[in-house]
Amino acid sequence: EAQVTQNPRYLITVTGKKLTVTCSQNMNHEYMSWYRQDPGLGLRQIYYSMNVEVTDKGDVPEGYKVSRKEKRNFPLILESPSPNQTSLYFCASSLREGRRNTQYFGPGTRLTVL
């Protein structure tokens, strides 16, 4: 089954404790992206990757890091989480970059930073 998976699905942590949210897709997609969703603000792009070893900032990259060492994986790293990073996070992928390529979303990771 074609899908985007994320782990963990739920995470409660404390300020300053480094964490990684994994994202994996089995569709051989080139393009992957991370979004956060907050009440009243909607979905906002954090980082994106157009292919292996190619990443760039989205709208709200502060406090986050990403890496793309393999095509299928695109982990989101929070080096020193803060309470304002409490949010619902989604990973998405599409076949390749470009306007005609639909982005497919993972199930989400709900993160709480105390």
Partner 1 sequence: EDQVTQSPEALRLQEGESSSLNCSYTVSGLRGLFWYRQDPGKGPEFLFTLYSAGEEKEKERLKATLTKKESFLHITAPKPEDSATYLCAVSLNSGGSNYKLTFGKGTLLTVNP
Residues of the shown chain interacting with partner 1 in the complex, contacts defined by CB under 8 A: 4, 33, 40-45, 48, 50, 56, 58-59, 90, 92, 97-108, 110
Tokens for 31, please give them. 């393009």
Torsion of the alpha carbons at 67, 71, 74 and 75, rounded to the nearest 10? -70
Q: How far is the CB of 44 from partner 1 (least distance, A)?
A: 8
- In this complex, which beta carbon is closest to partner 1, that of residue 53 or of residue 79? 53
Nearer to partner 1, 8 or 98 (CB): 98
Asked if residue 96 lies in contact with residue 29, where contact means CB atoms within 8 angstroms, the answer is yes
Q: What are the tokens at 68?
A: 């793309």
Q: Provide the minimum distance between the beta carbon of 92 and partner 1 in the complex, in angstroms, as a whole number.
A: 8
